[in-house]
Chain A
Amino acid sequence: MVVWLGLAWSGWAVELLPAGHRPAPVGWHALVGGKVVVKPGQVLEEATIIIRDGYLVAVGSGIEVPAGAQVWTMQGTRIYAGFIEPYLVLGATNVAVRADSAEAGSLTGGVGGYDFFGVPGQGRDPGGPGPGHAVAGVTPERRAVDAYAIEAKALESLREVGFTVGHVVPGRGILRGCSALVALSDGAPNLAVLAPEVFQVVAFEVNRSRERVFPGSLMGVVAVVRQAFLDARHYASERADTALRSGRGQGQGGGIRPAFNTALAQLGPAAEGRQRVLFEPGSALMMDRAARVARELGLEFALVSSGEEWRRPDLAKGLGATLIVPVDFPEAPKLPEAEDWQQVSLDRLRAWDWAPENPALLRQQGLEVALTSWGLTQRRQFRARLRSALDRGLSEEDALAALTTVPARLCGMAEQLGTVEPGKLANLTVVTGGGYFTPKAKVREVWIDGRIYPVVSEEAGSAKSRGEDASRAGVGGEPKGRAEADAEASRRQRVARSPLAGRGPLVEPPALLIQNATIWTCGPQGRVEEADLFVRGGKIVGVGPQAARQFEEGAGALRLDGRGWHLTPGLIDCHSHSMILGEVNEGTLPSSAMVRIGDVVNSESITIRQQLAGGVTLVNLLHGSANPVGGQNCLIKLRDGAAPEELKVADAPLGIKFALGENVKQANWGERFTTRFPQTRMGVRTFFVNRFTAAQQYLEDWAVYRETGGREPRRDLELEALGEVLGGERWIHCHAYRQDEILTFLRTMEQFRVQVGTLQHILEGYKVADEMAAHGAGASAFSDWWAYKFEVYDAIPYAGSLMRERGVLVSFNSDSSELARRLNLEAAKAVKYGGTSEVEALKFVTANPARQLRIEERVGSLEVGKDADFAVWSGPPLDSRSVCLQTWIEGRKYFDRESAAAQAQALEQERSVLIEKAKQLASAADRGKGAEAESDAGRFWRCSLETEHDGWDRHCTDE
């Protein structure tokens, strides 16, 4: 087969260099006799490739070598399309043309905003010195191509593993700027650039500086991304408005002159779907979030894998985008003492054992995968890691596609890159000693733009580097000793289970009957002895002595003897920070109403199982209380094993976290925090009046626009959320302590005709219970916390009972991952202090929080028609000697003690097996590498976002 594209001789295309330069070679080559892998799955034996002026002009067997071409003998080589590195973050290797944070200290202005980012008194945002976006991390106007000046060493390291083209992405911030595609050739950067603007790159990167600059939380980052794209679209429409451009709209009701904003201008194409967006979400769950945000904004997008999609293959499957996948698999570390393994979590061990399987797993989900060397401490580890991925099921064909055709398509250069076909750029990767994926094989050279780049360093490979290769089990080929062979076999075999193993419903019978139990209905029936609970299709269809009569056996229906059992509705925690990814509070700005917990629900948190074991079924996830307006809440049911979106209570009424008092005025933050407004309770009121007035005007602007048209107002997600509060759709859950601030807040809200949903913690609520009752605000209280700071010196454990007596709807919340495990005993404190009856006290953690969250039609009591969410107790639920035996959600059992014990045993067992494996591999690696062992283990210790806060009792930001 012969394919000719080229023409006959048509003269020189070689540039004549000035005298003194080494003259450029003639760009006409014939590569003869190699085995050419045209594309994944298509191989030509003994083929010839003709290159002319940087392009492939002919590829095939039996091609006549043109007389004028320089002939290269390729016998014994395998020739691939030049590999493409799809995620080249140059970081330290590129010379920064425009310094950003490095010069932050010397910047004076920064940009003050049309929005909340330039809060008076807030630590200065080290934004750019000129016009731009108010958030330092929003720099879509940057272009990687403008700073492209790669070091020779970095280039060599890339070519050494076979890369010929790199997709260079900007490495800092959230909206980072445009990526570029470059040839990894030597010489002038201008010649290297293949495409100057490929993707707009977005990373969910949190600013963790001590200055507490917005956004300081993961959820804040997502909010920034959303708002920035909306703003870019608005900006573009404003620019397109000719009336505005000509100035005719000004001063005649057309509004003020629109501001110039280079960031929003540059983001325009991406916002309008004309430029693709590449997201680097940083964790398995945020991958899903990024895809959802991208679809919500109508973006064309691709994703950079976290490397941990094995946590939830179901989510990966639904991503619907091409993935750039790292192979920076962790290496087992060597620990000083054997006992130190006690300190290593199961999750870390799993992450280590699963990692090499991730690429194959993603392919199994039907996703397009491009592989990257990004994240490796040394790029030459790439082939060894790749080999590990192959050992764990990635096919060679997929691996090759992941280095050639997929990234070529991904970067929009499939016409010119990715295969060895005429008409494409003459980029080739040439390997001797077998295929690229054979450990012994070597990259002999690469061709870029028709020029050869011999790989020197590996050729001259010292004994050391060869030894190193051998020791990286999986590459060595012939392990020397028995121990190495065992280690090698062990490495190929995954022993970790899926983190989803043993989760999910234990039983889900179509119908369920529990007989002869004591049922605390928390509804009009009160407590019923010797009663039955009848459940069908996840709903309660009968409660009471007669319920059993409707039950029919068969078809998987389950009948349980409930003698001795006490049944209560599933407990509801009206104030939790447990299952949240990243920080619980965007505590930088005084109002972060645009920030949504729903963006960062952590379905993988072990706190779900811990709280299920305490009978909890539904949780109100709230922000911390570092600012007056925290953000939008999220209600979830603890359906362990379900993905974040499935945990959410469908169509849950909206809520928002507010806060007052010491926390929002930064009273206990230390001496550095004395300038942000507000610093007093006076200022807190002022602040709310300001924001609600702004929200009113925002609604007015939109109403006018909808009625009369004209210039479309900017969508402001902060004011939109506050507008929903004004409209009564979004209910306030306000952290409040002292009686003066409580009353002031209620009166301020009344001024805006807003009814407050709940006052949270509400330690001095007992002093103004009548006023709260008259307003209609519920109290979601601590049972007995006090004296931990000055504003709670007057807190009393009788508050719950006293407020209830005065007509306030009262619940008790946990505000703590630990306390949430025993809310029934918190409710008992209302009996102890103030003599609330047991039936009423139990409602503090069931029916009452359900009403406070406006979901009492569905949950909170055991009544016909409601969700079958309930807990089974060994005795009266308020007795400290009682234990939660089972927890059910919508007729499915999610917890019982026996299964929990079995699961814990399985986890411990898995952990010991993993520790043994890690010890074995660490010592095998150690024999090969000596002192280098630890530096390679760095990746092993990187904590996954999903498990970062699991051991914490998360309430510190909110007491």
Chain B
Amino acid sequence: MMPEVEGVASRARPGGSRGWGGRCGGAVWLAVACLLALRWSAESETLLLLGATVHPVTGPALTNGAVYVRDGTIEAVAPALDRRADRVERLDGLHLYPGLVVAGTQLGLVEIEAVRATRDTTETGEYTPDVESWAAVNPDSELIPVARANGITHIVPVPSGGVVAGQSGLLALKGWTTEEMMRKRPVALHVNWPSLELEFEARERAGDRAKGKSLAEQAQERRKRLRALQDFFEEARAYARAKEAAVGAGSAGFRPVPAWEAMLPFVRGEAPLFVHADEVRQIEGALGWAETNRWKMVLVGARDAWRVAERVAAQRVPVLYGSTFDLPAGDAQAYDVHYRAPGVLHRAGVMVAFAAGGRRDASNLRNLPYEAAQAMAFGLPAEEALRGLTLYPARLLGVADRLGSIEPGKEASFFAADGPILDVRAQVRRLWIAGEEVSLETRHTRLYEKYRGRPRGR
């Protein structure tokens, strides 16, 4: 059986629609959320939130603001609103924030790190653009409610492994199935920029010096790896051209290749490349490559990007920063080098969003706001820190028209907290995704309640 491939399958079955998804251009764009909301509620349904300090993120906070929602979409945001609604909720004393959007995480792909059977994060193979992360998200993961309970409403589960690891999609943390959770796919192709690190001690470690690779040999291999990456994208472009020509000529004899098909939206510039690179040599290499090829690129991880902040800004490459809590990378670096990095990037004019650094990111994704908070304590303006968790990730995923702020026309995904969300001490009290309130109960609250109720003094 040939695997079913997007585009290929739909050509074979003209007019065939796959579940909720429609196709628009190369990327699948789904304005599904509101369609679904319509379907669920049958009739138009309205919700009015009153009394909260509303943080639209795109503008100044409104004390005692009002938010009016119809069918899962925000219809109005104002200092005061006198409208009737099916439901009216008072949120006095609370802060209303747009749902946090995490543009890169392993959440959904892993349950328990140490148990291999529960890990679906990393595929083998160097070039696997046709690996799709959303295929393996477990909607019933116990980790999902835990992340959601601290305000995270949308995530992008990222495939790891190899050079071109695969593609990711955007999912809301609500829905009975992955299809119901899906918002957009693909949102990005994940490229792990080959490591340029030389193994200085290779020969010493090998014991037998002859077995270790010399620095010159390593440098040669390094060049080969980079060349292979560039060639891969050239080949993908060539495929795109060949396909266009074949389609123009009636497609006679054209035989699709799933991996190259997967590359089409990206070589056509319809969706961005998420280039994972931490070290400054990698970042500079990726920037040069993107410039030459005019790729739409986002730097992910980007530990050392602050070193070349001006260039990143000049090329208008957004950064999905994942290193705020990394230890300094060099022994001459300041203790706070990575705390300060987002601020440095911002001042240079770079758009900085936050992503989890990797380690434990699935189980403790809830702590992501505190990475932004640390960046704020070390120089990033407060509103930028908040945007880095909301509006900016939405922008670099190409969904800022639907997510990332509390504004009319956007998906009604937001939450109310009893303090600033960047403060550890703040509690999320209520949360809505696409207009529907979601329980904040988690495995943790259940166990807490259970053992809090254990009779004392045995």
Contact = CB atoms under 8 A, between A and B. Distances in A.
B115 interface: yes
A921 to B, nearest CB: 17
A793 B112 contact: yes
A787 B365 CA distance: 12
Contacts of B424: 825, 828-829, 831-832, 878, 880
A818 B327 contact: yes
A952 B329 CA distance: 9
B448 A834 contact: yes
Interface string A601-626: 00000100110010000000000000
A784 B364 contact: yes
Contacts of A910: 332
B112 A790 contact: yes
Interface string B126-141: 0000000000000000
Given A771-B458, A789-B112, A790-B112, A342 B280 contact: yes
B177 interface: no
B69 interface: no
A73 interface: no
A347 B201 CA distance: 15
Contacts of A951: 327-331
A416 interface: no
B360 A788 contact: yes
Interface stretch (A405-413, A628-636, A938-946): A938-946
Contacts of B452: 798, 802
User: Chain A, interface size: which category?
Assistant: 35 or more
B363 A787 contact: yes
B451 A767 contact: yes
Given A346-B332, A806-B456, A336 B219 contact: yes
B423 A938 contact: no
Nearest to B371: A880
Contacts of B222: 336
Interface string B101-116: 0000000000111110
Interface of B: 111-115, 142-143, 197-198, 200-201, 203-204, 209, 214-216, 218-219, 222, 279-281, 284, 325-337, 360, 362-364, 366-367, 370, 373-374, 376-378, 422-427, 443-445, 447-448, 451-452, 454, 456-458
Interface in A336-369: 336-337, 339-340, 342-347
B149 to A, nearest CB: 10
A806 B201 CA distance: 53
A802 B451 contact: yes
Nearest to A346: B332
Contacts of A832: 424-427
B422 A880 contact: yes
B335 A796 contact: no
A486 interface: no
Specify which of B330, B364, B373, B426 lies most central, judged by the most chain A CB atoms within 10 Å of its CB: B330
A343 B373 contact: no
A834 B427 CA distance: 11
Contacts of B374: 822, 880
Interface string A813-843: 0000110011001001101111000100000
A907 B458 CA distance: 59
A668 interface: yes
Contacts of B457: 770
19 contacts: A343-B197, A345-B331, A346-B331, A606-B331, A610-B328, A766-B448, A769-B451, A789-B112, A789-B113, A790-B115, A793-B112, A818-B326, A832-B425, A833-B444, A881-B373, A883-B377, A900-B334, A941-B201, A942-B201
Nearest to B378: A883
A934 B216 contact: yes
Contact of B198 (A340, A907, A950): A340
B335 A900 contact: yes
B427 to A, nearest CB: 6
Given A832-B427, A883-B377, 7 more contacts: A333-B215, A770-B454, A882-B377, A938-B203, A942-B204, A951-B327, A951-B330
B423 A796 contact: no
Contacts of A785: 360, 363-364
B377 A342 contact: no
Given A337-B219, A787-B142, A882-B377, A904 B332 contact: yes
A789 B362 CA distance: 12
Interface in A866-921: 878-883, 900-901, 904, 907-908, 910-911
Nearest to B280: A342
A904 B362 CA distance: 34
A700 interface: no
Given A343-B198, A802-B452, A904-B333, A787 B376 contact: no
A797 interface: yes
Given A770-B458, A934-B214, A784 B423 contact: no
A38 B313 CA distance: 72
B112 A788 contact: yes
B215 A335 contact: yes
Given A832-B426, A880-B377, A668 B327 contact: no
Nearest to B218: A336
Interface in A39-96: none
Given A342-B280, A788-B360, A904-B333, A335 B198 contact: yes
Contacts of A793: 112, 142
A609 B337 CA distance: 13
A571 B115 CA distance: 35
A338 to B, nearest CB: 11
A881 B423 contact: yes
A386 B363 CA distance: 57
- Interface-centre pick from A784, A882, A950 (highest chain B CB count, 10 A): A784
A806 B452 CA distance: 9
